[in-house]
Amino acid sequence: MFIADFLKGKLQAILNVSECDFSVFPSGNSKFGDYATNIAFVLAKNRSASPFALAEDLKKELETNKGFCKFVSAIEAKSGYINFVLHPAWVAHIASENIQAAIKQRKKKTIVVDYSSPNIGKTLAIAHIRSTIIGDALARIYMYMGWRVITDSHVGDWGMLAGKLIAAYRTYSKKSLAQLSLEDIQDLYVRFTNGEEDNPELTERAKQETVKLQRKDKENMKIWRALVKISIREFTDIYALLGTVPFQHQYGESHYRTLADSIVKDLVASGIAQKSQGALIVPLDQEKLPPALIQKTDEAFLYITSDLGTIAFRCKTWRPDAVLYVVANEQALHFEQLFAINRLHPLDAHALLVHVKFGMMLGFDGKKFSTRHGSFISLRDVISEARERAYTIAKKKNPTISEKQLRTIARVIGIGAIKYNDLSQNRNTDVLFDWDAMLSLSGNSAPYVQYTYARLSSICAKAKAKVKTKKTTWTQKDFALFDDAENVLLKKLIQFHDVVLQASQEYAPNYIANYVYEVATMVNAWYETHHVVHAGPVVQSVRLKLVAQAMTVIKMGLGLLGIGVLSRM
């Protein structure tokens, strides 16, 4: 149940104000009721009236509405706000919902999430972590929201990069294709780019190999296919380590080359693209953007060209309602140009194209990570470091536990810490890479929330209660045994859907992370002062319901972020 949305709809209908842009939101403080609205402020502006008096009037109008009073048991007007206390019967109804089931939509919508998108020839690095983790969370969130989700990693496998890799292989490799590992390829590439600095001949060679590849030279195609295969295998391994949703597609840029070709022809024919200094550009003065270069002097395509093909392909194949590009801030101009060209020459009429941008991960020096300057941190190293740190602590806490269990705990905690670090922030600020911050195991972190879950699991085990993970059935009578803290906690727990909805609308997984953290904080405070196992049977059974409810919310919330829970840690 989307409580805020539901109440807003009721208010619109009862007060007949559908055109007015007000909001309904959970009150931050229980002294202001459970939910509140700023409707009086918004209406007062339009009618140039006093918001304070208007709030009083609206309150009276709502109080006389019998239908509305089934959902809200008390209404108050306070300094212009109207605050609502939810009706206990309705609270019981909402709390009894099965939140593990994905939300059903009336009309099933489709979304394409484009994320991770590494280049071939290199293992995944720290620079890929944000896109991979944020994209994965968004995919999970939209699946939960009942959308048809298409996950696609737009792998960089074509163009100059591919040519360089082939040239590097041909120039330096002593191994055959079959013997080659990704590490070998990476070494060859680094050696090649270093060599380029004082040997322009190598760059020339790379260009020639690129042209040969684009002309489907047999030998080059063979080398290229091997490079792609080795790279994808490595990517898949790391995604498995991270526990991300497996990609449905990893179409590379190469996949779009013929489509891009026809789009470029169309753009030229319709006069949108024109020659400039021997290359092909799309002027975007009207959009107040610099011109986009879509074809080089040597007729090779660029990043933006294949992305135009990508739009056409996706729209034709899946007919999505939205396409999310989870790509760092540095590509902002690229996407502005891409979307602008799409407006001039619509490759699809109705898909909403969104660049979900985020701040960059910066190196220790506060500058961009770059392989060339040797500031390369592989994702494998980050993962194993995280696991190691978690392992050390887990072993200290549980000296008697089996090695196998320890490893499981270390994996879930370590991965959780990495993901949470990114997903709890997700603003556009750049992030300075810092081992300790990224792998924090205490305070506002995934392990804190996971620990809360483990404690609750332990209560269930001690009380010999079966944890009902699916749903908890509540009646209004249960609340008679609650004190204030428990009331507030349950009201917090039923906000789950509101939060997920908002996270999906704003492409902001951090709303869920923050919410789950707040829930964990409340649970831990409650835990200190309320006993379950030693309480009397009646109180115990109600508190066990609360425990089950909290466990479900934490498990689901972390699950949407791609983070697991443990019954023991």
Partner RNA sequence: CCCCUCGUAGUUCAAUGGACAGAAUAAAGGACUUCUAAUCCUUUGAUGAGGGUUCGAUUCCUUCCGAGGGGACCA
Nearer to RNA, 112 or 149 (CB): 112
- CA gap 150, 249 in Å, rounded: 8
3-state secondary structure of 83: strand
Least distance (Å) from RNA to the CB of residue 305? 8
Nearer to RNA, 110 or 463 (CB): 463
Least distance (Å) from RNA to the CB of residue 168? 14
Nearer to RNA, 68 or 369 (CB): 369
Structure tokens at 39: 């409707």
Least distance (Å) from RNA to the CB of residue 110? 25
Closest by CA position to 418, among listed 397, 395, 447? 447
CA dihedral 366, 369, 375, 376 (to 10 degrees): 140
Give me the amino acid identity at 545. Answer: K
Could you identify the residue written with the tokens 């909290």? 550
Least distance (Å) from RNA to the CB of residue 559? 18
Closest by CA position to 96, among listed 479, 566, 464? 479
Least distance (Å) from RNA to the CB of residue 290? 4
CA dihedral 60, 62, 67, 71 (to 10 degrees): -110
Closest by CA position to 308, among listed 276, 361, 275, 268? 268
Nearer to RNA, 6 or 93 (CB): 6
Q: Strands 322-326 and 352-356: what pairing?
A: parallel
Q: How far is CA 251 from CA 80, 117, 150, 316, in A?
A: 54, 10, 12, 15
Nearer to RNA, 92 or 323 (CB): 323
DSSP state of 78: E
Q: At what angle do helices 257-269 and 303-318 cross, to 10 degrees?
A: 100
Structure tokens at 333: 């101009």
Least distance (Å) from RNA to the CB of residue 41? 3
Specify whether the CB–CB gap between 430 and 369 falls below 8 A: no
Least distance (Å) from RNA to the CB of residue 399? 12
Least distance (Å) from RNA to the CB of residue 124? 14
Least distance (Å) from RNA to the CB of residue 232? 16
Ordered strands of the 110-114 beta sheet = 148-152, 110-114, 322-326, 352-356
Residue 464 C-alpha from the chain's centroid = 37
Nearer to RNA, 413 or 560 (CB): 413
DSSP state of 301: B
Least distance (Å) from RNA to the CB of residue 101? 27
Phi, psi torsion values for 250, nearest 5 degrees: -135, 60
Give me the amino acid identity at 316. Answer: K
Least distance (Å) from RNA to the CB of residue 502? 8
Nearer to RNA, 143 or 280 (CB): 280
Q: Is 472 left (phi over 0), alpha (psi -120 to 50) or beta?
A: beta
Least distance (Å) from RNA to the CB of residue 156? 4
CA dihedral 95, 100, 104, 110 (to 10 degrees): 140
DSSP 436-504: HHHT--SSSSHHHHHHHHHHHHHHHHHTTPPP--S-----GGGGGG--HHHHHHHHHHTTHHHHHHHHH
Nearer to RNA, 36 or 92 (CB): 36
Nearer to RNA, 268 or 454 (CB): 454
Nearer to RNA, 44 or 494 (CB): 44
Nearer to RNA, 198 or 528 (CB): 528
Nearer to RNA, 186 or 445 (CB): 445
Nearer to RNA, 88 or 159 (CB): 159
Q: How far is CA 411 from CA 18, 166, 427, 457, in A?
A: 50, 37, 27, 19
Least distance (Å) from RNA to the CB of residue 459? 4
